[in-house]
Structure 1
Amino acid sequence: MYDDQTNCLELTVYDHDVAGKDDFMGRTTIDLSNIKHEKTHTLEQILEDGAGTITLLLTISGTSGSETITDLTNFTPNPRERDEIVCSYGLLKSFHNLKDVGWLQVKVYKAQGLQAADIGGKSDPFCVVELVNARLQTQTEYKNLNPQWNKIFTFNVKDIHSVLEVTVFDEDRDKKVEFLGKVCIPLLKIKPGERKWYALKDKKLMRKTKGSILLEMDLIFNHIKAGIRTINPKEDKFMQPEQKFKISIMKRNINRVSQIVSSFVDTGKFIQSCFDHESKPRSITAFIVYIMVVWNFELYMLPVTLLLIL
């Protein structure tokens, strides 16, 4: 966003036509001047002429300069403010606004030793912080492998079993992004006030990648609200990456099914061999086991046996 831009965001919906021209389906506008910064808003906009509705997540983030609320260089902690937040999530407030489970504050200080994504051996890194559908990001630090963002982000916690995702990207000139590293932190693993370096990992979180990031988090939540939320369905995440078809995954799944089928076949052959008297000791043992089961079997044993297998 730039100062000389209009504050109206226009969204247009088309029907994609492979052979010819895309067909216009509807349009809507959003006044950005009324949108609060550094917060993810879920909006449902009605398209013109009753052409339907469109649901979207909209966030204005990465602001810098005079934004003292989000800029660590101008931030002064207020213990009284935190005490008020603790009080608002106390036991006496357990049945007030059940969807508001807790409050999370994330301080993104800096990163070091990032991967060089540009030809000159540098990167233009920025950091994206996500909690389910809430998504905020820092400003971009250009030509830097050790960026200092110094940002504070605040999230409303709806499910204490959610996972905080912190991802570092490289910004290119054409506004495309390149993945540099990621870390995922379950909310229940957060130690309030602990400033810690986290090693960045790849997209699948299987291996370490170059670089680490310095974070400090503070979490306050109501245990009763969190318990009530636990028995409800998990919140759907709108921004899910598209799953790409991979031959290796398909082969692995086919092998799994083949192994299961072969194990059933082998079990059937073994049981059949007991009745065919291919091996006298095996048939005698099977007969004794059969007699013992019939003699001692009670109906309640069936679910108990299935429970033991589970």
Structure 2
Amino acid sequence: MLQGSPAAGRIQDQRTEDGDSSASTNSLGSGNADFPPGDPGIYQLDVTLRRGQNLAARDRGGTSDPYVKFKLGGKEVFRSKTIHKNLNPVWEEKACILIDNLREPLYIKVFDYDFGLQDDFIGSAFLDLTSLELNRQTDVTLSLKDPHYPDHDLGSIFLSVLLAPGDQREA
């Protein structure tokens, strides 16, 4: 989170609630004033959403129709396809996300799609971008949690991630 900078208020004002389909997919902020000298400023995060395991059932039949949202700075930057009636979905979907603040974690939220109704929250997790090694493919397992029920096991999400400085992106 940007602190003490004039951009901090603007970024917070632009945040939208879940379900707002008008959320922008552009994750670039207004500048790189918060980065130390020598920091490239912009990074590219290549994420492969691999699969989910033992996701919580949210439908009457004991299954869920899961999909995943990636959010950065309060904005949705990627949404996966929905896998119907599956608690162990396989997505194998790739997303390329531009990052201008490594201290802002990637927020991963999993939902159960419900036709015509509000989608059910399954669980969420944070990916600490500062923990990633630059230019190294990393497999990540994230345990899903619900802040209201911290002791519940809601399943896991498996990702492969690669963080690279923006100026080293392949054309």
TM range (shorter): 0.5 to 0.7
Residue of structure 1 equivalent to 2:163? 219
CA distance, structure 2, for counterparts of residue 57 and residue 115 of structure 1: 26
Between structure 1 and structure 2, the one with the greater Rg is 1
Note if contact 1:131-1:155 (Cα within 8 Å) is conserved in structure 2: no
Contact in 1 for aligned 2:140/2:161 (Cα 8 Å): no
Name the SS for the 1:110 alignment partner: strand
Q: Say which of 118, 123, 134 aligns to 2:64.
A: 123
Q: Name the CA distance, whole Å, in 1 between partners of 2:164 and 2:152.
A: 30
Contact 2:77 2:97 in 1 (8 A): no
What is the alpha-carbon distance in structure 1 between the residues aligned to residue 149 and residue 125 of structure 2?
7
**What amino acid is aligned across from residue 91 of structure 2 in structure 1?**
W
Q: Larger % of helix: which?
A: 1
Aligned CA-pair RMSD: 2.4
Tell me by how many angstroms 1:221 deviates.
2.8
User: How many residues get paired?
Assistant: 131
The AA in structure 2 aligned to 1:216 is S
What is the CA-CA distance between 1:166 and the residue it aligns to? 0.8
Q: 1:57 aligns with which of 2, 6, 23?
A: 23
**SS, match of residue 57 in structure 1:** coil
Q: Give SS of 2:130's match.
A: helix
Amino acid at match of 2:161: M
Relative to the length of structure 1, the TM-score reads: 0.39
Residue 202 in structure 1 maps to residue 146 in structure 2: yes
Identity of aligned residues (%): 27
> Matched residues in 2 for 1:217 and 1:205: separation?
28
Structure-2 change in CA distance of 1:211 and 1:155 (3 Å): same
Q: In 2 relative to 1, CA 205–195 (structure 1 residues): closer, same or farther, beyond 3 Å? A: farther
**Contact 1:128 1:137 (C-alpha < 8 Å) held by counterparts:** yes
For residues 24-58 of structure 1, give each alpha carbon's deviation from its aligned partner in whole angstroms, at most 9, with x where no partner exists: xxxxxxxxxxxxxxxxxx9xxxxxxxxxxxxx634
Q: Larger relative contact order (C-alpha < 8 A, sep ≥ 6)?
A: 2
- The aligned counterpart of 1:167 is 109
- Going from structure 1 to structure 2, the CA distance change for 1:134 and 1:170 (only over 3 Å counts) comes to closer
SS at match of 1:209: coil
Which structure 2 segments of 5+ residues have no match?
A: 1-13, 15-21, 26-37, 167-171
1:183–1:205: 8 Å Cα contact kept in structure 2? no
Name the one with the larger strand percent. Answer: 2
